[in-house]
Amino acid sequence: MAWGDKGDNQGPWGRPSSGGNNQQGGSGDNNPPPSGPDLDEVLRKSAEALKKYMPGGGNDRDGNKGVLLFAVIGLLLWLSSGIYFVKADEQGVVRRFGEYHRTTGAGVNYHWPYPVETVQTPRVTAINRQEIGFRSSTSTYRSSKVGDVSVGEESLMLTGDENIIDVDFEVQWKIASAEDFLFNIRHPEDTVKALAESVMREVIGQNKIVTVLAEGKLKVEQDTRKLLQETLDRYKAGIEVVAINLLKADPPAQVIEAFRDVQTARADLETSRNEAEAYRNDILPKARGQGQQMLQEAQGYKQEVIAKAQGEAARFISVYDQFKEARDVTKKRLYLETMEDILQGMNKVIVETKGGQGVLPYLPLPALKNKTTEGGQ
C-alpha cells in the first residue's frame, strides 16, 4: 500500500483525500480540506527526472553505470579534500578522530579527509604579545605613552616593603611545541596572561620599591621570565617566553608627587653621603701617611739615642779602663779635655808669667788680638 492510500481515501497525515482538486477554491462545509502530497508520486517523478540526466536516458544498465561514475567522482573529490599546505612559519598538527596523530612540516601534505582526520596549522615562529596592566591602541606598541588604557586591577602590586606600585609590562612568547600548545591548555592567551600577572606579583613582592624603580628593573624582568617559563613547562603548555618588558613602574598617581619629594630627599642624602665619603677618602690617606712618617721618625730617633748612649757607655768604659791603668795621666787628660770644652769659644788672653815676665796691666790685649785677626783676614 502506498503512503497516499490510507483507506477511506485518507491522506498520509490521516486527512480524507478528495477525488480531485478544488478548482473553485471553496471552503464551505460541502468541500473537504485539501489532501497532503502523494509521497510515492513525488519519489517516482524524481527518479524519472534523474534518469533523464544519466547515460542511456533511463536504461537500467546504463543508469547503474552512471551511478557508479558519480560515486567514483564523489570519492575522488572527497579524497582530494585531504590535501593541505603548511607555510614556512607553521606546523601541521593532524588529528585522527579527534586524537593527536602526527605533526607535519612546511610544504604540501596530505591527511585522510574529514571526518577521519583534521588538521590545524598554528604559526610556531610568530611572536605573540600579551599586555598586562594596560591596553595599547596599536599592535606595534613598544613603550608606555599617552592614549593607552590603564587597567588598575592588573597593574597595582605590593612590593616587599609594603608599598603600592603601578606596573605595566608585556610578555612576548611563541609556540615551542604545537602538539602541547593545542592539546594541553584550552585558552593559551588567557593562561599566559594569568600566569604572567601572578609571577610578576610574586617577583615584585620579593623586592623593595626603590629597587624596582631604579637599578632593579632588569633583575625583575629576568626573574619574571625565568619563573614564568618554569611554570609553563610544568603545565606542558608548549610555549616559550621570549622576553618580559617592564614598560612602566611608578607609584600610584594619587601619591606620586609625595613620592617624588621623598625620592628627592633620598637623592640629597645620597649626595651628602658621597661627598662625605670623598672627604674621608681624601683625608684618611694623608693622616695615615703622616702617622707612618712620625713612626719612622720616632724609630730613627730611638736608634740614634740608643747608638749615642751605647757610644758614650763604650767611651766611658774605655776611659775607666785607662784610668785604672794610669790614674794621674788620666786625670790630667780629663782635666785638659774638660777645660778645652769650657774655654772653647771664650774671648780670653793667656799670659805666661813664669820667670818674672809680665805685661802692663792696662794693655788692651783682647782688642789688639781682634784687630790682628781682622787684619790677617
Task: Give per-residue pLDDT as tens, 339-365.
Answer: 888 877 777 666 666 655 555 555 565
* AA letter at 5: D
Residue 150 CB contacts under 8 Å (≥ 6 apart), including other chains: 133, 134, 166, 168
Strands 107-110 and 83-86: antiparallel
- Tell me the sheet residues that pair with 132: 169
Whether omega for the bond prior to residue 115 falls within 30 degrees of 0, making it cis, is yes
Comparing 11-25, 66-80, 339-353, which segment has the lowest mean pLDDT?
11-25
Statement: residue 8 has pLDDT above 50: no
Q: How far lies 191's CA from each of 188, 196, 227, 229, 304, in Å? A: 5, 8, 14, 12, 86
pLDDT of residue 352: 64
Grid coordinates in use for 106? Answer: 612546511
Closest CA to 359 of 347, 368, 372: 368
Statement: residue 161 has pLDDT above 60: yes
- For 274-298, what is each residue's pLDDT tens digit? 999 999 898 999 899 999 999 999 9
Comparing 14-28, 112-126, 280-294, 321-335, which segment has the lowest mean pLDDT?
14-28
Mean pLDDT of 93-100: 79
Number of neighbouring beta carbons within 10 Å of residue 134: 22
Number of neighbouring beta carbons within 10 Å of residue 80: 10
116, containing H or E segment: none
* Residue spans of beta strands (DSSP E) within 124-198: 128-132, 134-135, 149-150, 156-158, 164-175
Strands 99-104 and 92-96: antiparallel
pLDDT of residue 353: 63
Number of neighbouring beta carbons within 10 Å of residue 252: 14
- What sign for the dihedral angle of Cα 40, 46, 49, 55? negative
Residue with the bigger pLDDT between 14 and 79: it is: 79
Separation between Cα atoms, residue 167 and residue 159, nearest integer Å: 11
Residue 344 CB contacts under 8 Å (≥ 6 apart), including other chains: none
Mean pLDDT of 201-230: 88
Fill in the DSSP letter of residue 347. Answer: -
Number of separate helices (H) and strands (E) present in the chain: 10, 11
Please tell me whether residue 109 adopts helix, strand or coil conformation. Answer: strand
Is residue 361 packed enough to be buried (19+ CB in 10 Å), middle (13-18) or exposed (0-12)?
A: exposed
pTM over 0.85: no
Number of neighbouring beta carbons within 10 Å of residue 132: 21
Question: Model confidence at 104, in pLDDT bands (50, 70, 90)?
Answer: confident
Grid coordinates in use for 71? Answer: 560515486
pLDDT of residue 197: 92
Statement: residue 63 has pLDDT above 60: no
